[in-house]
Structure 1
Amino acid sequence: MKLHLDTEGKAVLENGMPVYLHEDGKAIPFDAVAALNKISALNGEAKSHREAKEALEAKLKAFAGIDDPAKAREALQTLTHIDQKKLIEAGAVDQVKAQITQAFQTQLDEASSKNKTLEAQLYQEMIGGRFSSSAFIQDNLAIPADLVQARFGHAFSIDAGKVVATDAAGNKVFSRRQPGEIAEFEEALEYLIEQYPHKDHILKASGHRGGGSQPTPQQHGHKTLKRSAFDALDIGSKQAALKDGIYR
């Protein structure tokens, strides 16, 4: 990005803050004070994480060779309540081990299933809801919210209770309006759309950058797909159709 200058070559200010032009031509004021405060806060947070990590590593040395201390502790407590005389009987040790393993595995499978269900519900509530109520989708895109989620939903996840977006390289999408902060859903989705190579196929005519309506896929001679045929596709085929610009 570069400093925004007026016709006299002077820096443009907004609320006392210098305005910078980003690569996409957007002019956004830079809050230097907020940026410095954020950097200081992040440095302090990084130091705390490092100290906590070092302390945890020191404690974990006592459990070297044990992959799951909780399981090991539970197994030891169970074995102490078993009559040692029965353990030396032929086949008794293996039988007891099998019973313990089976009981634990059943509980683990149940907990895992419940956890996956809760994660899916949380994802749909926090992320799916944002797609369905997105003003950016309604105002700028020519496809419905469920299709946008089918194509871009994988880029969003929940981290520490917040919705976080990642770009194609796996990097978190940060806000350009609030330096150092994770981009909110609408800003992150707009960024992902801007980076999408086939964005012209999903933007409304009035939503094309640079003004002026764009030729439709039919005018270009591209193959198109009706909504009824699109709805009959599986999720993988829908994503492929969106990527290739077949559905509009």
Structure 2
Amino acid sequence: MKLKTIDVNGTTYAVIENGNPVYVHDDGKEIPFDAAASLNKISSLNSEAKAHREAKEKFETELKKFANITDPEKAIEALGIVTKLDQKKLIDAGEVDKVKAEITKVYQTQIEQAESKNKELQSQLYNEMIGGRFNSSKFIKDKVAIPADFVQSRFGTSFKIEDGKVVAYDQSGNKIYSRSKPGEVAEFDEALEFLIDNYPQKDHILKASGNQGGGAPQTQHQMGQKTIKRSAFDALSPLDKQATLRDGITITD
């Protein structure tokens, strides 16, 4: 990327936006570079790396306690024998496995119930955090010519919830990072714009003013018609095709 400049009366000046110099990336996008935020992020990453190193050193120290154990399987077996000997003080050794099986059964049921509830809560959280962002997206409202639920059906699987945040991944499985905030994951609209920019059929889902430059004619969606081009329809999943036909959207060639 290179610094964006302007010439004024023969003198070259850097272009500044919100106090930050603007850089032009290889694809032509102009992004302000926040140097202060970048330095703070580097400091944060250094602290994180230090924490990981200290944790590794602590683990290696603890591991040295087991340096004399040459056969881990026999060590585990010996621990099991000692445990049974302790339990024999309370119940007959022949009943130990039976009691363990009953306890395991009870806990297994509780674990399965907890996992089921957890999946239900995760689904609700996903619909609230990710579905809500599609429905309220300014980028979709301003730049996309198809409804938000159609956009979600195509790109929703690229977004995940990690540590309470919505994180986007590209087709190669890599996290999408922000250009305006180096080192930070991209916010929802910036990530969605990146995904659509790299979508082969983007010309069929973006509004004319968003992908053809000045003077481009309005799309049928902008003129109030509920239509979709056949090429765009063919690119949809079977479920999306059914939804399109059910909503009465007309397919055009």
The TM tier, using the shorter chain, reads: 0.7 to 0.9
Q: Which residue, 11, 14, 17 being the options, matches 1:12? A: 14
Structure 1 residue 223: deviation in Å? 4.8
Structure number with greater Rg is 2
TM-score, length-normalised on structure 1?
0.72
- Structure 2 CA distance, aligned partners of 1:103 and 1:97? 10
Cα offsets for 1:30-71 (capped at 9, x unmatched): 2223322321221112211332344356557879969xxxxx
Alpha carbons 2:230, 2:252 under 8 Å: kept: no
Query: Is 1:84 matched with 2:91?
Result: yes
* 3-12 vs 24-33, greater mean Cα deviation: 3-12
Structure 1 residue 209: deviation in Å? 4.4
Matched residue, 1:179: 182
- Structure 2 CA distance, aligned partners of 1:204 and 1:144? 12
Structure 1 residue 121: deviation in Å? 1.2
- Structure 2 CA distance, aligned partners of 1:61 and 1:109? 37
Alpha carbons 1:141, 1:204 under 8 Å: kept: yes
SS in structure 2 opposite 1:19? strand
Q: Which residue, 17, 34, 39 being the options, matches 1:36? A: 39
Matched residue, 1:124: 127
RMSD after superposition = 3.7
Which one-letter code corresponds to 2:105 in the other structure? Q
Matched residue, 1:2: 2
Matched residue, 1:201: 204
> Would you say how many aligned residue pairs link Structure 1 and Structure 2?
221
Alpha carbons 1:141, 1:202 under 8 Å: kept: yes
Matched residue, 1:95: 98
Taking only the aligned residue pairs, the percentage that are identical comes to 54
Query: Is 1:166 matched with 2:169?
Result: yes
Matched residue, 2:55: 52
SS in structure 2 opposite 1:158? strand
Structure 1 residue 100: deviation in Å? 2.5
- Structure 1 CA distance, aligned partners of 2:145 and 2:40? 40
- Structure 2 CA distance, aligned partners of 1:130 and 1:113? 26
Going by fraction, where is strand more abundant, 1 or 2? Answer: 2
Relative distance call for 1:138 and 1:247 in structure 2 (3 A) is farther
* 54-63 vs 164-173, greater mean Cα deviation: 54-63
Q: Where does structure 2 lack aligned partners over 5 or more consecutive residues?
A: 74-78, 221-228, 244-250
Alpha carbons 1:20, 1:29 under 8 Å: kept: yes
- Structure 1 CA distance, aligned partners of 2:59 and 2:150? 44
Q: Which residue, 138, 152, 156 being the options, matches 2:155? A: 152
Q: Where does structure 1 lack aligned partners over 5 or more consecutive residues?
A: 67-71, 239-245
Matched residue, 1:25: 28
Q: Which residue, 177, 190, 194 being the options, matches 2:193? A: 190
- Structure 2 CA distance, aligned partners of 1:124 and 1:225? 25
Which one-letter code corresponds to 1:150 in the other structure? S
